Amino acid sequence: MTTVEPRLEPGDVLVDPAPRVSDPEAGRRSRKKQRTRDDLIAAGDYLFATQGFDATTTTDIAERADVSQRTLFRHFPTKESLLYGDLDDTRLQLRESLASRPADEPILVSVRESMLSLAEDFERHRDRRLLQARLAASSPAVSAYSRAVVQFSWEREIIAAVAARLGVDPLKDPRPEVVAGAAMSAVRIAMRQWTVSGGTLDFMTLNAAALESIASLSDLG
């Protein structure tokens, strides 16, 4: 599994200057835990960006975050999950966006609008999403994880929402999954176009254009 690793230009932003808010409600213990978690993500982002995903060792990352490798794996189940540490946030945001659409709205419109809320997420975490996309383009392991874990988790949210709206069982009626599959393909195209543009193009616009094509599918007869 040989891999071409990315070489970032010196000007590129490497890490999200994350807010590091650390809910002041919680005690010192959970704050410290959150702190090491943040440190690990930052260390991973930096090393992945500078050396590439495959060339970076989990031991490297742990050392840079000044913790043991064992601690890294207590916070993240896999090396890939370290790169997509905010997966759950994005997924839940998508879920809420889907749930908040009016019930009388056409389903394709609901899906489209919700996917656009995902675009907002991309612009809010621009650097990180670009890094993830670039690493996915250069490392098969990351690419596979993105498809099989990240995107799949989004797809499930769409399937559940569409099935609920239609009032059908998604294991029997194929439409929820087919809609979700089409929508995910649209998002992938938008992501790819956005990535090759280096994040300069407007993700929202790209995503909207791709999603438009779903409704016109039947023209292909």
Partner DNA sequence: GTACATTATGTCAGTCGCTGACATTCGTCA
Partner DNA sequence: TGACGAATGTCAGCGACTGACATAATGTAC
Which stretches of the chain bind its own copies, using CB under 8 A?
1, 77-78, 106-109, 143-145, 147-149, 152, 171-175, 177-182, 184-186, 188-190, 192-193, 196, 209-210, 213-218, 220-221
Q: How far is the CB of 52 from DNA (least distance, A)?
A: 11
Question: From the list its own copies, DNA, none, which binds 70 (C-beta under 5 to 8 Å, kind-based)?
Answer: DNA
Identity of the residue, 81 or 117, whose beta carbon is nearer to DNA in the bound complex: 81
> Which one of residues 7, 18, 20, 74 is an interface residue with DNA (CB under 7 A)?
74
DSSP string, the chain: ---PPP---TTS--S--------TTS-HHHHHHHHHHHHHHHHHHHHHHHH-STT--HHHHHHHTTS-HHHHHHH-SSHHHHHTTTHHHHHHHHHHHHHTS-TTS-HHHHHHHHHHHHHHHHHHTHHHHHHHHHHHHH-HHHHHHIIIIIIHHHHHHHHHHHHHHHT--TTT-SHHHHHHHHHHHHHHHHHHHHHHTTT-S-HHHHHHHHHHHHHGGGGG-
Q: How far is the CB of 59 from DNA (least distance, A)?
A: 6
Site for DNA in 24-53 (CB under 7 A): 26-30, 32-33, 36
**Of 64-72, 96-104, 181-189, 213-221, which segment contacts DNA by CB under 7 A?**
64-72
Chain contacts with DNA (rule: CB under 7 A): 1, 26-30, 32-33, 36, 56-59, 66-71, 73-75, 77-80
